[in-house]
Amino acid sequence: MKKIISLIYIILTFVISVYALGADGKKFNRIASLTLSGDEMILSLVNHKRIVGLCGKINEEPDMSHVWEIAKGFPKIESNIETMIDLEPDLVITADWMKKDVLLQIEETGTNVYTYKTPKNFEEQKKLIRELAELVGEKERGEALVKNMEDRLSALQKQITDNYKGKKLKVLMYTSYEYTSGKDTTFDDMVRLIGGINAAGEAGINGSQKISKEKVIELNPDVIIIPIWKGHINSEEFSAFVMNDPSFENLKAVKNKKIYLVKHKTLSPTSQYMIDGIEKLGKTIYNLKEE
C-alpha cells in the first residue's frame, strides 16, 4: 500500500512540475514586460505564445520602438497593476528606473519579478541579455543575440579602421532642448566603440545634462549629432539654427558641415538594438558605405 501511495505521490509531483513548466518545458510561460527595452528583448528571446502583455502604447510608436509592428498584437499594461494582475503573469520584467512604489506593488502581488539594472554600455547590455535569456530558459537564443551584436561590432570597427586614417573625432550629442549625454551613458560608450571621443564626457559632464551655447563653443566638437523623434521640436529646424547661428560659425562641426540628424530610438536603446545605434553612428560619422 505504501508503495502505491509513494508511486501516486511521484506521479502527482511530476504532473504538477510539468504543468508549472508548461508544455514546452520552460519555467515561465506567462511573461509580462513593463518596459520598452524589456519588450524588445523578450520578443526576441521567447516564443510569443509565452508573452501575456507588454509595457504600453509607446512600443507601437515607430519613432520610439524597434518592435512597433509586432507589439500591436499584445495587451498593453501601461504600469497599471490591476491590468497586470488580470493577465495572470508568472514573471514580470521591470527596470531599476521605475518608481519604487510601483515595483513594491508588483512584488506584493506575489508574482515573480525580474528587475534589471539599466545598461550604460555595450558589455552591460550583453550581460543583461544573457541573464534574461537564462532566466526564461532560452540561453541559446540569448547567445545568438549577443554573437550577432559582437560580430556586427567587429565588422564595423574593421570597416572604420580600413577606411578612416585621420585623428579621433570629438562627437557631441546636442538635442533641440540643448541637452547632451556625458559619461556613464550608452552614447558615451557607443562613441568610444567607434573610435571617437565623446566631447561632453571628456569635459567631465556626467549623464544627461543641459549645456549652454558657451559650453558647446568651448567643446568645439568635430561632429554634432542631433536626435530626432515624433513630438520633439523640429530637429531639422534646430539643425539649421545651429548651422546659421553666428555664435556657432567657428565650430568645427559647423564649418565642415558635420551636423547629422539621427533617430532618437537608434541612439537610445538598452536592448540588443544598441548595435543598430553603434552602426548608424559609425557609418554616419565616417561616411561609410553599407556592406
Summarize pLDDT for 235-248 with one digit per residue, the tens.
667 777 788 888 89
Q: Is residue 258 part of a domain?
A: yes
- Same domain for 101 and 176: no
Q: Are the beta carbons of 263 and 64 closer than 8 angstroms?
A: no
Instruction: Check whether residue 14 and residue 90 sit in a common domain.
Output: yes
Looking at residue 24, what is its pLDDT? 54
pLDDT at 273: 96
Residue 77's domain is classified under what CATH number? 3.40.50.1980
Evaluate whether 2 touches 53 at the Cβ level (below 8 Å). no
- What residue numbers bound the domain in which 59 lies? 2-118
Strand 51-53 to 31-33 pairing: parallel
CB 173 within 8 A of CB 106: no
Give the Å distances, CA to CA, from 109 to 31, 86, 112, 156.
15, 11, 9, 45
pTM: predicted TM-score of the whole model, two decimal places: 0.86
Could you tell me if 182 and 253 lie in one domain?
yes
- Residue 173's SS3 state is strand
Q: Is the domain of 162 the same as that of 208? A: yes
Positions of the chain with pLDDT under 70: 1-26, 230-236, 291
Radius of gyration of the chain measured on its C-alpha atoms: 23
pLDDT of residue 231: 58
Beta pairing class for 91-95 and 31-33:
parallel
Cell of 65: 520602438
Q: Are 62 and 164 members of one domain?
A: no
- Whether 96 and 53 map to the same domain: the answer is yes
The answer to whether position 140 is within a domain reads no
Residues 159, 106: one domain? no
Among 103, 118, 133, the domain boundary falls at 118
Residue ranges of alpha helices (H) inside the chain are 2-21, 36-45, 68-71, 81-86, 100-108, 122-135, 139-163, 186-193, 199-202, 213-219, 235-244, 252-255, 264-267, 274-285
Q: Is 134 inside a domain boundary?
A: no
Kindly state whether residue 236 falls inside one of the protein's structural domains: yes
In a domain? residue 94: yes
Residue 240 within a domain: yes
Over the stretch 197-220, which tens digit does the pLDDT of each residue have?
999 999 999 999 999 999 999 999
**Measuring CA to CA, how many Å separate 94 from each of 34, 42, 97?**
6, 12, 9
For the beta carbon of residue 243, count every other beta carbon within 10 angstroms.
Answer: 15
Residue 98 lies in a domain: yes
Clarify whether residues 23 and 105 are in a common domain: yes
Domains: count for the chain: 2
C-alpha to C-alpha distances, 142 to 33, 124, 146, 188, nearest whole angstrom:
17, 14, 6, 25
The answer to whether residue 218 is domain-embedded is yes
281 and 154 belong to one structural domain: yes
Residues 28 and 113 in one domain: yes
- Are both 262 and 156 inside the same structural domain? yes
Do both 45 and 108 map to the same domain?
A: yes
Alpha carbon distance 281, 191 (integer Å): 8
